[in-house]
Chains A and B, each alone.
Chain A
Amino acid sequence: MNGSHKAIFVEAGVLLIAALLPFALQALGEEFYIGFATRLLIFALAATSLNFIVGYGGMVAFGHAAFFGGGAYVVAFLMQAGIVSAWIAWPLAILAAVVAAVGIGAISLRTRGVYFIMITLAFAQMIYYSIISLQSAGGDDGLPLEQRSTLAPFDLTSDTTLYWVALATLVACLLALKRLANSRYGRALAGLRQNEQRMEALGYPVDRLKLVCFVIGAGIAGLAGALFANQNGLASPTQLYWTQSGMLLVMVILGGVGQRYGGVLGAIALLGLEEALGLMTEYAHLAIGFALLAVVLFAPNGLAGLAGLVGRRRG
């Protein structure tokens, strides 16, 4: 059995456990944790989408909350307008994120390095302040959803179904990104990450390649936001604020930048730690802060690096 076969068995095993998790939680009488597990999956999806931009596209974007939180608000707005169907609302959430990302990306990609970080941050803050100053968006309180989206033939009022939908979405995105990584476009991104100048000199339209990457990541984040609004029952300004962008970025770095499962690992580790420590102490973030410092100082490739999931990497 070679390495890649082994990896497929591990992946299938993890997927099986994840799919059966609701039954286990029901058997244990811990249904509450189905909601928490759904949250993990949704943030795993959001972090994966950011990891695509940061790790595959090499762009340190510090405004991902705009697309994630924006997706949530689109679903809430549409529900206010009477559009309940997920088949309409969720694609529109993706579309809104994509349109916003085309504009933000086209301007931001004119800058490099820290200026790119700062300008993406500024755009996200603009969206944050625009939305909280809208009375129809509920201001600081956010916009509650009267009900979950309907996703016929599935019944999203069931927490378990929502969990499976989130799981299916995450798996579909991971598979799609895996396939993309090996495509012509994925290979071009790999080249871009290593040597932008050489890619330009080989005739690649570097800015367009990066913009497409930025937009794909944003679209997935919009979908994650749509799911989150349903899980949370509320589109809240918290999801738009820069600290949310920071948290997503922390998940990516924690999990492993550019590693296929970096976003997933980071989201599960961070939120899992938060939940577990929250049971023990009022000051969970204190401990998480020190844990993150330990990761920075002692595990530069993130958790994926610690778990030996990193392929050959050279300094």
Chain B
Amino acid sequence: MSTVLEIAGLKRHFGGLWATNGVDLCIERGDIHALIGPNGAGKTTLIHLISGALRPDEGRIVFAGADIAHHDMHERVAQGITRSYQITQIFPQLPVLENLRLAVQSRRRDWGSSFRMCRPASADFRMIEEAEEWLGRVGLAEAAGQFAADLAHGQQRALELAMALATRPQLLLLDEPMAGMGPEESAHMAALIASLKSEQTVLLVEHDMDIVFRLADRISVLVAGRVIVSDTPDVVRNHAEVRRAYLGDEIR
């Protein structure tokens, strides 16, 4: 196994609060790596730092051999880190297919730069075909022509996941992909994530412990801006400090 992402001594403060207070973390290729921790532990801040939405005050984020801690978000996407958001981020007034085509267009620079102004984008069938493939993969093939705003919430989350996947990340950051979903939709999303297992490296922030322990290859526990343990689900489940600090009776 090889390491995809290595974080060392990462710090970020807001006013007097150290939301990220010396995080060390390693993510191995092919793992579904879950990040758990009590509310306010700094999970979303960490996702922001890794994705480039925020810059760290201190520390390194080494990805594919280079420190990317101060790269712009769009550069990190090109390098291979893509994220999803807690609150659905799609293009509501564009057709579902176009939502995905934009994701494909961004990645496939070799097919043409996004600054090309003359040739109609729709003339490049390769982008459309690839967009359709991704739609099929998340079960949205039927909805290709609809406006994204008209989809059900669960479908919008699936669309967002497909858009993130279509950028072909080496590391996919999923920030509470099941947020706001009913049990049925959650199960569908869990199945989608499970289908990525072993082919896609994922860093998953999720509150539902059943899903976390079922899906994850490794689990890191974040408490007060620090990773207190990072290991296999079995070890984490039985880790005394984790039980005391956070999990309590949630794990039987």
Contact, CB under 8 Å: B74 / A179 = no
Q: How large is the interface on A (under 10, 10 to 19, 20 to 34, 35 or more residues)?
A: 20 to 34
A135 cross-chain contacts in B, Cβ below 8 A: none
Interface 9-residue window, one of B11-19, B89-97, B189-197: B89-97
Contact A204-B74, Cβ < 8 Å, known A191-B91, A191-B94: yes
Contact A195-B106, Cβ < 8 Å, known A182-B122, A183-B118, A187-B98: no
Residue from A184, A203, A205 within 8 A of B121 (CB atoms): A184
- Interface check A197, CB cutoff 8 A: yes
Contact A190-B94, Cβ < 8 Å, known A198-B89, A201-B85, A202-B102: yes
Encode B138-152 as 1/0 by CB contact (under 8 A) with A: 000000000101000
A183 cross-chain contacts in B, Cβ below 8 A: 116-121
A190 cross-chain contacts in B, Cβ below 8 A: 91, 94
Contact, CB under 8 Å: B116 / A185 = yes
B45 cross-chain contacts in A, Cβ below 8 A: none
> Complex formed: what's the CA distance from A198 to B74 in Å?
10
> Complex formed: what's the CA distance from A205 to B76 in Å?
11
A201 cross-chain contacts in B, Cβ below 8 A: 51, 73, 77, 82-83, 85, 89, 164
Within 8 A of B (CB), among A159-216: 179-180, 182-188, 190-191, 194-195, 197-206, 209, 212
Contact, CB under 8 Å: B117 / A186 = yes
Residue from B93, B94, B112, B114 within 8 A of A204 (CB atoms): B114
> Complex formed: what's the CA distance from A179 to B118 in Å?
6
Contact, CB under 8 Å: A182 / B120 = yes
> Complex formed: what's the CA distance from A204 to B52 in Å?
13
- Interface check B167, CB cutoff 8 A: yes
Residue from B74, B82, B120 within 8 A of A206 (CB atoms): B74
> Complex formed: what's the CA distance from A179 to B119 in Å?
8
> Complex formed: what's the CA distance from A151 to B22 in Å?
68
- Interface check A314, CB cutoff 8 A: yes
Residue from B74, B85, B120 within 8 A of A205 (CB atoms): B74
Contact, CB under 8 Å: B94 / A188 = no
> Complex formed: what's the CA distance from A308 to B112 in Å?
35
Residue from B89, B94, B112 within 8 A of A197 (CB atoms): B89
Contact, CB under 8 Å: B121 / A204 = no
> Complex formed: what's the CA distance from A197 to B82 in Å?
12
Contact, CB under 8 Å: B121 / A187 = yes
- Interface check B163, CB cutoff 8 A: yes
Within 8 A of A (CB), among B113-142: 113-122
Residue from A185, A202, A314 within 8 A of B93 (CB atoms): A314
* Chain A facing B: main interface SS: helix
Contact A184-B105, Cβ < 8 Å, known A201-B51, A204-B114: yes
> Complex formed: what's the CA distance from A313 to B94 in Å?
10
> Complex formed: what's the CA distance from A315 to B90 in Å?
16
A217 to chain B, nearest CB (A): 13
- Interface check B229, CB cutoff 8 A: no
> Complex formed: what's the CA distance from A183 to B116 in Å?
7
A315 to chain B, nearest CB (A): 10
Contact, CB under 8 Å: B106 / A204 = yes
B116 cross-chain contacts in A, Cβ below 8 A: 183-185
Within 8 A of A (CB), among B64-103: 72-74, 77-78, 82-83, 85, 89-94, 98, 101-103
> Complex formed: what's the CA distance from A186 to B112 in Å?
13
A114 to chain B, nearest CB (A): 23
Contact A203-B149, Cβ < 8 Å, known A186-B121, A188-B114: no
Q: Which residue on chain B has the smallest CB distance to residue A188? A: B114
Encode A261-283 as 1/0 by CB contact (under 8 A) with B: 00000000000000000000000
B77 cross-chain contacts in A, Cβ below 8 A: 201-203
Contact, CB under 8 Å: B117 / A194 = no
> Complex formed: what's the CA distance from A183 to B78 in Å?
21
B28 to chain A, nearest CB (A): 24
A179 cross-chain contacts in B, Cβ below 8 A: 117-118, 120
Contact, CB under 8 Å: A191 / B102 = yes
Contact, CB under 8 Å: B89 / A188 = no
> Complex formed: what's the CA distance from A199 to B77 in Å?
11
A272 to chain B, nearest CB (A): 32
Closest A-B pairs by Cβ, 8 of them: A203-B77, A198-B89, A203-B106, A182-B120, A194-B91, A202-B106, A185-B117, A180-B117
6 further A-B contacts with Cβ under 8 Å, apart from A183-B117, A202-B82, A314-B149, are: A188-B105, A198-B90, A202-B102, A202-B163, A203-B78, A312-B147
16 A-B contact pairs sorted by A residue (CB < 8 Å): A179-B120, A182-B121, A182-B122, A184-B116, A185-B114, A187-B98, A194-B91, A194-B92, A194-B94, A195-B92, A197-B89, A201-B73, A201-B164, A203-B107, A312-B147, A313-B93
